[in-house]
Amino acid sequence: MDKRQEDLLKAIVETYVKTVKPVGSKSLCQKFKLSSATIRNEMAVLESLGYIEKNHISSGRIPSESGYRYYVEHLMEPEKLTGSDMLKLQSIVKNQDLVLSDAISKCMEIISDLTNYASVILGSNAEDNLLKQVSIIPIDNNKIVALVCTNKGVVENKQFQLEQQTDLKELIKTSEIINKMLTGTPINEVASRLEFEIKPIIAEQMVDYERIYHIFYNALSDFATQDNDDIRVVGRAKVLEQPEYHDADTIKKLAYKLEDQKFIKHVVKDRDNDEVKIYIGEDSEVDPNTTVIKRKYDINGECGTVAIIGPKRMEYARVMGLLDYVLNEMKKKDEK
Amino acid sequence: MDKRQEDLLKAIVETYVKTVKPVGSKSLCQKFKLSSATIRNEMAVLESLGYIEKNHISSGRIPSESGYRYYVEHLMEPEKLTGSDMLKLQSIVKNQDLVLSDAISKCMEIISDLTNYASVILGSNAEDNLLKQVSIIPIDNNKIVALVCTNKGVVENKQFQLEQQTDLKELIKTSEIINKMLTGTPINEVASRLEFEIKPIIAEQMVDYERIYHIFYNALSDFATQDNDDIRVVGRAKVLEQPEYHDADTIKKLAYKLEDQKFIKHVVKDRDNDEVKIYIGEDSEVDPNTTVIKRKYDINGECGTVAIIGPKRMEYARVMGLLDYVLNEMKKKDEK
DNA sequence: TCTAGCACTCTTCTTTTTCAAGTGCTAACA
DNA sequence: TGTTAGCACTTGAAAAAGAAGAGTGCTAGA
């Protein structure tokens, strides 16, 4: 591909992203100061290379998946934020009260608003968390809340119904033992250490140890096993508005997938370990017309993943610009 | 309306609910042992009363909104659960570990699965909650988690970034003061008592009291003000599958509304104070083809609201049966 | 009071027609 | 050699026309 062909591909992608209509040769004459015939010739080359395709013989061209990929990898120029985009994000960035994860979460909501794509926010996974503290809060005679807090500040709570005889004091004592012995344990190892280290101890000291063990086991193992990284998807309904999803059936299927947290987690997180990854079209596994842009971050130990889910015909440059901006600002803020 | 007309209306509603197709006079001949002409005559009566209507002059009849309403109020017989429905629900009902609110939540998920409608689960509203306990958990040098727990077992947590100088000891001391003085305060009054009762005290004892006050104020006021009753909507995508929503535009609009928690809360909770309420069609405010069945419960002080959102052409009897069953079982369980 | 019969209406599905957009190719031109 | 003008051709989308079927309302007779 020579320069002119690259320019042409770029123009086709960008026009298509804007108009959502197949791009005809005529519409590009002005821009290139060439006749439509010449452009048609060049288009034929791009088509033979697989970068663009046409729906029907007599339709304009649309970028193919590899066309988008080429665009993203070689042609796209990261876009500066517009003033209003920046303004909206800064209201969050400047807020000193927000802890990092909340700030990122809020920014992603705004990005979803600005772009009409869906945002996914995935907190650090539970496996990285270490047990910080467990507490028992009695609610009334036979109800308690068991709280588990990790070193990353993730808190999980669970209520338990007590049978009459279970002794609150023993529960609290056990929580103290756990805090003394297990603080700092990776959260996914806690359950087994609970069984092999804590259970024998309380078995000696307490009558009702089985029941007590049961409660802590439940509170703690739930936390670790059940895919418990807190995942949020915002702006689901917005993506459905994108014009490529005009067909009722497609919309339903997409709505289904966007609601399925396990699936989204799989899409956004489990597939590879790259820091930035753009899954275009079929690669997204969501829908052939959909793109997923994923970004992992690690800001001074706080890590997580964010992603944008939108149409294949996405404003790639803008989205990348927005994500860059947010994560950079967060890093800056953290350094201060 | 005489008995025969009522029977006819019932048959029309129930057939339409099953088939989703306008009901013609012929299709009811067998059931009533009458000729189609007679049925047509009776249908004309029902139509003049406004209980049924037809899309086009030559189409069968469909129930009107007031037809559904009449059906629900006078004709519907609460349905006994089928064995398999009951079986699925019992796996939750029998589970002794689950606290009431979790059990109801899980049951509503199952109901959504069984019926393909959406379930809404609204916890008790914050206003009813009393402050039980606040705690401060230090996460690392300059980060803490502030925990607030209410008498209903609702836990809210928020992270705060500390500036170097804020003294952890003072924070913890303040939390103790709050626990001593404010436990039992309705959650929505806590913020003002914090200002007028606690702030003066810590102002005397602590250097950095402004910052400390700020933290607790944030943690506590967020809890109360921001519409914080935990609302969950499950099975959103399932409702979209209902055949009345075949049009892409309708589906998008519905998806939008179902995602808007504030709106759903308004629909399900804020509009009236009845214990059971069925909003049919336009009344639902969701979509002219949608019905919302709402149920408030108060089981030994644990209260909340659940709702089912589905098509106007809903299996009313079945849904009512399912909700009855769940709430009854919960009550029984609680009494034990 | 019920029923049979018939004309009529209206939707839905299929087929046909028309229209415009855009292509590929050829031949001429700089 | 690269560019352009011109033209035949393909195709889809929209509009128009036609056929089939379901269901009604009405009338007249049992």
pLDDT at B164: 67
pLDDT at B191: 87
Assess whether pLDDT exceeds 90 at residue B325.
Answer: yes
- The larger pLDDT score, comparing residue B101 to residue A164, is at B101
The one-letter amino acid at A225: T
Work out if A35's Cβ lies within 7 angstroms of strand D.
Answer: yes
Q: Tens of pLDDT along B113-141?
A: 999 999 999 987 666 788 999 999 998 87
Cα distance from B127 to chain A (closest Cα, Å)?
A: 17
Q: Tens of pLDDT along B53-63?
A: 998 888 899 99
Q: Tens of pLDDT along B104-118?
A: 999 999 999 999 999
Half-sphere exposure of B156 (CA within 13 A, CB side): 23
B237/A255 Cβ within 8 A = yes
57-96 on A, CB < 7 Å from strand C: 57-61
CA distance B8 to B10: 5
Using pLDDT thresholds of 50, 70 and 90, give the confidence band for residue B230.
confident
Q: Tens of pLDDT along A223-234?
A: 655 555 678 999
Closest nucleotide to B32, Cα to C1': C2
Q: Is B123 left (phi over 0), alpha (psi -120 to 50) or beta?
A: beta
Cα distance from A234 to chain B (closest Cα, Å)?
A: 9
Quick one: CA dihedral A99, A102, A108, A109, positive or negative? negative
CA distance B50 to B71: 13
B135/A135 Cβ within 8 A = yes
Using pLDDT thresholds of 50, 70 and 90, give the confidence band for residue B225.
low
Nearest-by-Cβ selection for B149 from A133, A137, A161 = A137
Strands (E), A59-102: 61-63
Q: Tens of pLDDT along B247-275?
A: 888 999 999 999 999 999 999 988 888 99
pLDDT at A225: 56
CA distance A228 to A128: 12
The structure tokens listed for B98 are: 């689950």
Backbone angles phi, psi at B24, to 5 degrees: -90, 165
**Partners of residue A101 in chain B, C-beta under 8 Å:** 159
Report DSSP letters for A125-145, one per residue: PGGG-BEEEEEEEEEETTEEE
Q: Tens of pLDDT along B68-100?
A: 999 999 999 888 999 999 999 999 998 877 878
Assess whether pLDDT exceeds 70 at residue B308.
Answer: yes
A248/B255 Cβ within 8 A = no
CA distance A67 to A83: 30
CA distance A234 to A121: 8
**Could you say which nucleotides of strand C lie within 7 A of any protein CB atom?**
2-5, 8-11, 20-26
Using pLDDT thresholds of 50, 70 and 90, give the confidence band for residue B6.
very high
Using pLDDT thresholds of 50, 70 and 90, give the confidence band for residue A127.
low
Work out if A20's Cβ lies within 7 angstroms of strand C.
Answer: no
Q: List CB contacts of B259: < 8 A, sequence separation 6 or more.
A: A236, A237, B236
Give mean pLDDT, residues A34-41: 94
- Measured from Cα to the C1' atom, the residue closest to C23 is A58
Assess whether pLDDT exceeds 90 at residue A256.
Answer: yes
For the CA atoms of A45, A48, A52, A57, the dihedral, rounded to the nearest 10 degrees, stands at 100
pLDDT at A13: 97
B241/A252 Cβ within 8 A = yes
Nearest-by-Cβ selection for A155 from B96, B132, B147 = B147
Q: Which residues pair with A233 in a beta bridge?
A: A120
B252/A252 Cβ within 8 A = no
Closest nucleotide to B21, Cα to C1': D22
Strand A143-150's sheet: what is its strand order?
A131-140, A143-150, A155-161
A153/B143 Cβ within 8 A = yes
From the centroid of its chain, how far is CA A52? 30
Mutate to test the interface with A, among B137, B156, B234 (most CBs of A within 10 A): B137
Work out if B62's Cβ lies within 7 angstroms of strand D.
Answer: no
From the centroid of its chain, how far is CA A250? 22
Assess whether pLDDT exceeds 90 at residue A66.
Answer: yes
Q: Exposed e or buried b for every residue in B27-41, given b needs 16+ CB within 10 A?
A: bbeeebebeeeebee
pLDDT at B130: 87
Backbone angles phi, psi at B136, to 5 degrees: -115, 125
Using pLDDT thresholds of 50, 70 and 90, give the confidence band for residue A25.
very high
The structure tokens listed for B2 are: 């005489």
Work out if A12's Cβ lies within 7 angstroms of strand C.
Answer: no
pLDDT at B21: 93
pLDDT at B228: 55
Q: Which of B325, B294, B291, B274 is nearest to B71 (CA)?
A: B291
Backbone angles phi, psi at A23, to 5 degrees: -95, 120
Report DSSP letters for A260-288, one per residue: -HHHHHIIIIIT---SEEEEEGGGGSS-T
Using the structure, give the distance in angstroms from the CA atom of B36 to the C1' atom of C11, rounded to a whole number: 21
Using pLDDT thresholds of 50, 70 and 90, give the confidence band for residue B183.
very high
The structure tokens listed for A47 are: 């088509």
pLDDT at B127: 67
- The larger pLDDT score, comparing residue A326 to residue B205, is at A326
Q: List CB contacts of A241: < 8 A, sequence separation 6 or more.
A: A116, B252
From the centroid of its chain, how far is CA A303? 12
CA distance A230 to A214: 25
- B202 in Cβ contact with B212 (< 8 Å): yes
CA distance A29 to A36: 6
* Sequence-ordered alpha helix ranges (H) in A159-229: 168-182, 190-193, 199-205, 209-224
